[in-house]
Amino acid sequence: MPFSPESKIGVVGLGYVGLPLVLAYINKGFNVIGFDIDSAKTEKLLAGESYIKHIPSEAVAAASSGGRLQATTDFTRVEDVDALILCVPTPLDHHLEPDLSFVRSTLDSVVPYLKSGAVLSLESTTYPGTTEEEILPRLQQRGHIPGETVFIVYSPEREDPGNPKFQATNIPKVVGGHTKRCLEQGVALYKAAFEKVVPVSSTKVAELTKLLENIYRAVNIGLANEMKIVAEAMDMNIWEVIDAAATKPFGFTPFYPGPGLGGHCIPIDPFYLTWKAREFGLHTKFIELAGQINRSMPDYVIRKVVEALNNDKKSVNGSRILLLGLAYKPNVDDDRESPSYVLMDKLEAMGATVDYNDPFVPVIRPTREHSQYAGRKSVEISDNYDCLLLATHHDLYKEKDFTSYKSPIVDARNCIKRPSAKYYLA
């Protein structure tokens, strides 16, 4: 069936992926029901408020006041929608293996209420085969016939929070269907909101496409991180080297080093493929090596902090350290999987007292991995610390003048343009 403004769209998971998707369909004239287990999110949306910094409350208020946005924690209302898009987390467990508990619990909550003829699309990043292994049997157990009474598709999210050039609708949308008719319905669903839809032959191909995109980034960031260590040993600035190499108009794409990987994709997605490949007797050595390098970078940065404090005749134990930047990328409030948390963990385990400054994250929200920091608040930048450690390259740090600071500063992003005399590039 074609999708028109009379169709009702449902989106499950109202975070950094789901909320832009909700607004994208509303802006095309659709009525949308947003589902989430967090009542605080649904209540804010109904009040016309945004809880994501780069999404203005004005956009949410316009959608809510216009009557096209509904938000609820009541999953029985899935029976009202013509298409349901799942945007729920797919983290790793402590063994670096896929944790599909959010996908499974969501499916168990929505499948009983999915009406005949509806499209069910999964957007959460996962390993090839998830759609067939997790969604298909649940629908068949309810008596649905894929491609006839329900249409199953997989379409990986490609959100880049805070990117001013690419919003949800102008990023090409890859779609794979379980059957030919599933694909047709999936393409129709996304064509209604996206400028370009890219159909592929199966849900597995679509699932692997997302993994390849992010593995490509993870591997190249791993290379940049390794090159940083080599360049430092040879007394060179790797950022200068990368910028020079980037002047080549072909055959080179710049990637930059950092204190570790962050975000909901790059630190996680490669291990989904590594895990699945073992089922076929394969070992993804290249991917795993890049992962080892990237996961080792916080230790490299900590060694720089130790060096800076030692040169001031101080130890980490007992020192007060100010961490600049908690978000995983600049100028957004997204702190998912941020390496800043790893740096905090390691420094506090060594006996330091760690404060943080990040105007984009004024208060640390509860997280699964670092619940001990919930409620901790951002402090003002000052020179009353034994060391400052810059972990996120927010524009405001580039603009700040640190030249008069007496505290040593460790910069893991080559961000500070006017450093103090005690400046360490990490």
Spatial distance between the Cα atoms of 207 and 201, rounded to a whole number of angstroms: 11
3-state DSSP: the chain helix, strand, coil percent, rounded to 5?
A: 40, 15, 45
Q: Are strands 150-154 and 173-177 parallel, antiparallel or unpaired?
A: antiparallel
Spatial distance between the Cα atoms of 167 and 147, rounded to a whole number of angstroms: 31
For CA atoms 234, 239, 242, 243, give the dihedral sign: negative
Of 87, 182, 265, 415, which is the active-site residue? 265
For CA atoms 129, 156, 117, 148, give the dihedral sign: negative
Spatial distance between the Cα atoms of 354 and 260, rounded to a whole number of angstroms: 18
Residue 82: half-sphere exposure toward Cβ, Cα within 13 Å: 17
Cβ–Cβ under 8 Å, residues 395 and 330: yes
DSSP conformation class of 171: S
Spatial distance between the Cα atoms of 267 and 367, rounded to a whole number of angstroms: 16
The answer to whether residue 265 is catalytic is yes
Interior/surface letters 224-233, b for 16+ CB within 10 angstroms, e for the rest: bbbbbeebee
Question: First-to-last CA distance in the chain?
Answer: 56
Cβ–Cβ under 8 Å, residues 239 and 184: no
DSSP alpha helix (H) spans, 89-236: 101-110, 130, 136-141, 180-191, 203-233
Q: Which residues are catalytic?
A: 265
